[in-house]
Structure formats: C-alpha cells, structure tokens
Chain A
Amino acid sequence: NAGVTQTPKFQVLKTGQSMTLQCAQDMNHNSMYWYRQDPGMGLRLIYYSASEGTTDKGEVPNGYNVSRLNKREFSLRLESAAPSQTSVYFCASSEIGRAYQPQHFGDGTRLSIL
C-alpha cells in the first residue's frame, strides 16, 4: 500500500519554465490537497479538491493551477515558474464528510527555481 505518491522528488527549473507536479493516492480518498512548505513558515494550502471534479483555492493559489484528473490523481502546475516558488511541495489526501479523517501526506517534491 503506497499511500500518497508524489513525482518527481526533486526538480530544478529556470525562471519562466513550466512544470506539472504529480500526485496519486491509492486509499480511495475523496479529498486531496496541495501545500507548500517554506523555511520558518509551516505548511500553507495552495489548492484543495473536496471530490473528483471540484477544486478550490487555498491560502496561496497565485501562480498555480490544479487538475483533479480522477479520484486518484491531483496535479499541480506552475505555468511560468518564479524564484518565489522555490519550496517543498506536499500533496495530501483524506476522507471528508465525517467528523474527522486524518490527512495522509506524500514525501514531498523539492523544487528550486533559478
């Protein structure tokens, strides 16, 4: 049982390049999330998908787009990468609609924009 799988694990881009970060979960969860983690700032929610076919902005959505391809996959796209987007990106998934379901995180993608 792989849980939440993110690809790639590391990536270096030049300013202005585009890239898609991939995330897939095998736990049959309805909800998926993208966070970024910067030094000293904890995790901040970029986008959120409550269920297949729906997406919603989080705290820091500017410069990003997402696609909920199907129930398993939720991708994050940087259309024109900027140095300010250098960060560690985490994907997570959970159930929703009940009192509480924990979020399960992938191992992260370390992205550097030069």
Chain B
Amino acid sequence: GIQVEQSPPDLILQEGANSTLRCNFSDSVNNLQWFHQNPWGQLINLFYIPSGTKQNGRLSATTVATERYSLLYISSSQTTDSGVYFCAVPKAGGTSYGKLTFGQGTILTVHP
C-alpha cells in the first residue's frame, strides 16, 4: 500500500515563529488532507489540497503532486497551534476516497 512519511517528527517553536511541515507519499494520489489534533485529542480538518496552494489565515498548504509531497506552513505561530499535525492520502483505487492512510504525524509545541 501507499506509504506516507511526515517530517520532522517533533518541532518546538517560540510563539511568533514560522514553521514548515512536510508530507511525502509513495504513489500518485488524487486527494491529500491535512488534519490538526489538538491537545485534547480532537481531530480537525485543515485542508483538502490534492494539488496547488491554499491558504486559511496563518496556515497555508502546497501540494506538488508530480513530486509526491505536500507542505504545511504555519506563520506567526501561537500556543493554540500546538498539537499533532497529520497528512492523509487515500488508499489506491478510484473509489477509495474514504479509505485514508495517515502519516505518523508531526508533534508541534509552541511556547509562549
């Protein structure tokens, strides 16, 4: 099956710093999603970004499908950005939109 690797595994920032999280995947995909899991364990959809660039406030994401990677940018980080960031892609097959394979996540800690 498809492999998803995220880097770095851990990231510690001072409030106000910028950061870039990376997601590499082993096969072509038509669907890539970024999720944030907050310190209380809740999972929130951030982006659906199969290709190109999207922005939502201080967060933006870019996927280069031909090179099989996606980047999540966090600017002017805040303590509320802390948590685990996951990328996820569908398993192989055209009807597999729902069958997601998750990366192992990047644990982000933002200190005040």
Which single member of B48, B86, B100 contacts A45 (CB below 8 Å)? B100
- The stretch from B37-45, B59-67, B72-80 touching chain A is B37-45
Chain B's interface size range is 20 to 34
**Chain A residues, CB < 8 A from B31:** 100
Does B104 interact with chain A (Cβ within 8 Å)? yes
* CB pair A45 B43 closer than 8 Å: no
Interface contact tally, CB-CB below 8 A: 52
Does B98 interact with chain A (Cβ within 8 Å)? yes
Listed in ascending order, the chain A residues whose CB lies under 8 Å from chain B are 31, 33, 40-45, 48, 50, 56, 58-59, 88, 90, 92, 94, 96, 100-105, 107-108
30 A-B pairs with C-beta separation under 8 A: A33-B98, A40-B104, A42-B4, A42-B86, A42-B102, A42-B103, A42-B104, A42-B105, A43-B86, A43-B102, A44-B102, A45-B99, A59-B1, A59-B101, A94-B98, A96-B98, A100-B31, A100-B50, A100-B97, A101-B97, A102-B33, A103-B33, A103-B45, A103-B100, A104-B45, A105-B42, A105-B43, A105-B44, A107-B41, A107-B42
Which single member of B42, B48, B99 contacts A48 (CB below 8 Å)? B99
Shortest Cβ gap from B16 to chain A (Å): 29
Kindly identify, within residues 27 to 56 of chain B, every residue whose CB is under 8 Å from any CB belonging to chain A: 31, 33, 40-45, 48, 50
